[in-house]
Amino acid sequence: MIPIKSPCEIEAMRQAGAILAAALQEVAGAVQAGVYTRDLDQKAEEALRMRGALPAFKGYRGYPSTLCISVNEEVVHGIPGARMLREGDLVSLDLGAVVDRYFADSTVTVPVGEVKPALRELLRVGQEAMMAGIAMARTGNHLGDISAAIQFEAERHHFSVVREFVGHGIGRALHEEPQVPNFGQPGTGVVLKEGMVLAIEPMVNLGNAQVEILRNGWTVVTSDRRPSVHFEHTVLITAQDPEILTEWR
């Protein structure tokens, strides 16, 4: 069963989304050459706590940090640490927040200084693929319409989408039903209804779609070690347009 949020729950999720967006924006603004990933993690935790939110990922299935920071060929679940960012890197910042027991989840990938044109295009298409999916998050559409729109947008630019990791429902838990794949067929899957909240989060690779997990048990990398980007918003389905709860303001 996919939870339908009550007006009161939606208000709580708006709060969580707004706080998360402000915190993530602050962390993204601190990305520059010479910065250590563990310092961004600390900044993220402070940015959440300062606004009355708690980190959603720390302790989740034993995950050690507030942020997931995935650089270049790292796709998702990179662990912050002693790595120093360098000019030309692509850095994905994945952050989750809990406010009043409600969750929000969002990711942005940003360049460090000047990056190669091919990487700028990968960033643009990753963001556009997420937005194409969000545009389909409407009452009466099928879940597969979101998935297919994301896949189409990525593949028409000759990039690929990761299959092993998917978006998800979100609310009283970080991961609720349904799973939201970043590939699929239009007109398939459940019918979307007002009050559903989905984390829509494509991972788009420059090379092929294959990924593997490093020996630390967390970090997912592309098998061809070519770069990957990740974008994510928490989105409310309404009677009108989708409402991006984690939108930057």
- The residues binding Co ion (CB under 5 A) are 105, 199
List all residues 6 or more positions away from 215 whose beta carbon is below 8 Å from its beta carbon. Answer: none
CB of 117 to Co ion, least distance (A): 29
- Residue closer to Co ion, measured from CB, 112 or 203: 203
- Residue closer to Co ion, measured from CB, 144 or 169: 169
CB of 98 to Co ion, least distance (A): 13
CB of 82 to Co ion, least distance (A): 26
Element (H, E) at 9: helix 7-29
- Residue closer to Co ion, measured from CB, 199 or 237: 199
Burial of 62 (0-12, 13-18, 19+ CB in 10 A): exposed
Residue 84 DSSP one-character state: B
Residue 83 DSSP one-character state: P
Backbone angles phi, psi at 51, to 5 degrees: -100, 10
CB of 168 to Co ion, least distance (A): 6
- Residue closer to Co ion, measured from CB, 112 or 198: 198
